[in-house]
Amino acid sequence: MAILKTENLTRLFGGLAAVNHVNMEFRENEILGIIGPNGAGKTTFINVIAGIYLPTEGKIFFNGQDISELQAHKRCRLGIGRTFQLVRPLQGLSLHENVMVGSLFGKGLSQREARKKAEELCEFLGLSDITRDITRMTALEIKKMEIAHALATQPKLLFLDEVMAGLNSDETMEMIDLVRKIHSQGVTIGIVEHVMRVIRELTDRVVVLDWGEVIAEGPYAEVSNDPRVITAYLGEEA
């Protein structure tokens, strides 16, 4: 069963189609990789799904419900969670409070319940030293905080937008394990990533975007040998 389905999804910025007639399906409980060169429209695609931008054309169905015109905060409450490519910690809130925001509003929990949930999530992700000033956290800790924030909304479908960027190889390994742990809790995951090792190890299926269009789709081993994908990444042979 498809948890999320897009039909002919298009988003124009002026004359530029950042997302161009995309038909994509997220199957329940899979890890789908979304890859493509810089500027291929991966983040815009997530933004259109999350409701930050409305589609210019086409439709989005979440669990069979047409959400194409739904406001972003309502999509979050339905169960679409996401992290941000450029991490955006909320200044003026502690680590736990940052995470609490997700369940306070995404799930309508009380402050007491949200705090408990935040503690659980931080423990689940291996985030300790909770009183720490969020301006002094490491890259890995901030990424984990972002994931905890997104998980606090209890998403059914979670988009991870380049969560491995800026991490060293040990940290990347740790993050891969975490994504598996999250997935094993029954969360469908859409992962945008440039680190191919991550895509190879984690994903069931991969969709390749280029100039806003889907140019290939399938298991990583197949897609990575597709001549169109190689051309998109490496350019035309002279």
Question: Could you list the residues that contact another protein (CB under 8 A)?
Answer: 50-52, 71-73, 76-77, 81-82, 84, 88, 90-93, 97, 100-102, 104-107, 111, 149-150, 153
Partner residues linked to 24 by β-bridges: 6
**Shortest CB 97 distance to another protein, Å:** 7
- What angle is formed at CA 3 by the lines to CA 202 and CA 184, rounded to 5 degrees? 40
**Shortest CB 52 distance to another protein, Å:** 6
- Residue 112 or 236: the one with the smaller Cβ distance to another protein is 112
- Residue 17 or 100: the one with the smaller Cβ distance to another protein is 100
**Shortest CB 101 distance to another protein, Å:** 5
**Shortest CB 112 distance to another protein, Å:** 11
**Shortest CB 127 distance to another protein, Å:** 18
- Residue 47 or 172: the one with the smaller Cβ distance to another protein is 47
- What angle is formed at CA 4 by the lines to CA 89 and CA 99, rounded to 5 degrees? 20
Torsion, Cα of 21, 25, 26, 32 (10° steps): -70
